[in-house]
Amino acid sequence: MSLAPVALITGGARRIGAEIARTLHSAGFNIAIHCRHSLKDANALANTLNTARAHSASVFSADLINKSEIDQLAKALKQKWGRLDALINSASSFYPTPLENATEDHWDDLMGSNLKAPFFLSQAFAQSLQETGGCIINIADVHAERPLKHHAIYCAAKAGNIMLTKALARDLAPRVRVNGVAPGAIMWPESESELNPDQQAEILQRIPLQRAGEPSDIARTVRFLICDAPYITGQILPVDGGRSVNT
């Protein structure tokens, strides 16, 4: 069994997930990096972390919409590390689904990655987290409460994610804390067709701090909730530059 605490970050190979992995690694955690398609990036990140501290990172590949693969992931992680102290549900699909074009596949994918997977991952790791007095962090979204045009399915899934966070906080207390982080404008979508420069500028105008955030803003908040907030559970912390209090 690992003597150091272990954190599993789903979608941990790239972008915000990778920054969370680096930040928790710097805080002394051993890191389980989950990926689905980004195996090259996941292995590169693990190599970097293992260079900094030997045998401190490993990679796990799974399709989290498939419950049997979640169960296999839980078994593999237990065999590798023997414990889990933090589950960070960061993996997420995000793209527009205008009502006239939305399909059942879109529904299954967006609901699957943003709501179904966090639930069944929490189920699969509940016992391990109870044994360590660990915690779950769900990455939500400010658009769970302020819907984004043409993203009805995604926003509904993230709204469910927020309620899931609050419900699990009750179900898993007192041994396991469950909280959420709701990013605002942190990283623009990689596809420029999703948000053009004019749309980006319009979003920034509605943010009191008048700028986009950084992945490190999310990662530091996750670290705080895991390491420095033993009396916080069932809460969603917006990290949005004040957007959620603006009109």
Query: Which of 102, 162, 160, 118 minimizes the C-alpha distance to 11?
Result: 118
Q: Which long-range contacts (CB under 8 A, 24 or more apart) does 146-154 make?
A: 146/243, 146/244, 150/96, 150/97, 150/98, 151/94, 151/95, 151/96, 151/97, 152/97, 152/99, 152/102, 153/97, 153/102, 153/106, 153/107, 153/110, 153/111, 154/93, 154/94, 154/95, 154/97, 154/110, 154/114
Q: How many CB atoms lie under 10 A from the CB of residue 193?
A: 8
Q: Which residues are catalytic?
A: 154
Collapsing DSSP to helix, strand or coil, 32 comes out as strand
